[in-house]
Amino acid sequence: MNFTTHALVGAALGAHVGSPAAAIATGLTSHLVLDLIPHHDVTDWRGALLDVSVGAATFYLLRSCLAAAGWWGAVAATAPDLEVGLRHFGLWRGRCGFPTHNGDHLHGRWPPIAGTLIQFPFALASLAFILLG
Ligand SMILES: [Zn+2]
């Protein structure tokens, strides 16, 4: 899924569990679970830049709403996609190590509109949880 979706879900889970260690564990787990849900991933640098920009702006706006565990959850939930980014820019030549990135299952190949729209409920529910929690 997109950076913004992973980050919001990870932040909401981190805020819920409350401790940085548990937030890291739930953030990483949430990345795995979200990647297993059929979706569409951005396929070029423009989409990635837009996604990361929206995510960064969202977290800038949320900066006063999140405690440390929420931030750790967001970082852990997005960290696995670092290898995808490095690979995309030719800085990682090997097989990706994260289970949903190694090509063993269909990942991020849903049609763009449906595959993007399916991410909204996860992102918006997480945003609501952060804002109301
Ligand atoms: Zn991923």
CA of 68 to the centre of ligand 1 (A): 23
- Domain range list for the chain: 3-132
CA of 19 to the centre of ligand 1 (A): 23
- Per residue in 51-86, pLDDT (tens digit) is 999 999 999 999 998 999 999 999 999 999 999 888
Helix (H) or strand (E) holding 56: helix 45-61
CA of 34 to the centre of ligand 1 (A): 8
CA of 8 to the centre of ligand 1 (A): 14
pLDDT score for 16? 97
Record the tokens describing residue 100, joined without a space: 């949903």
Q: Provide the 3-class DSSP secondary structure of residue 121.
A: helix
CA of 13 to the centre of ligand 1 (A): 17
Record the tokens describing residue 14, joined without a space: 């981190």
Spatial CA neighbour of 83 closest among 34, 26, 31? 31
pLDDT score for 76? 97
pLDDT score for 120? 95
pLDDT score for 43? 82
- pTM higher than 0.95: no
> Residue 37 carries which DSSP code?
S
d(CA 35, CA 46): 21
pLDDT score for 31? 97
CA of 23 to the centre of ligand 1 (A): 17
Using 70 as the pLDDT threshold, list the residues of the chain that sit under it: none
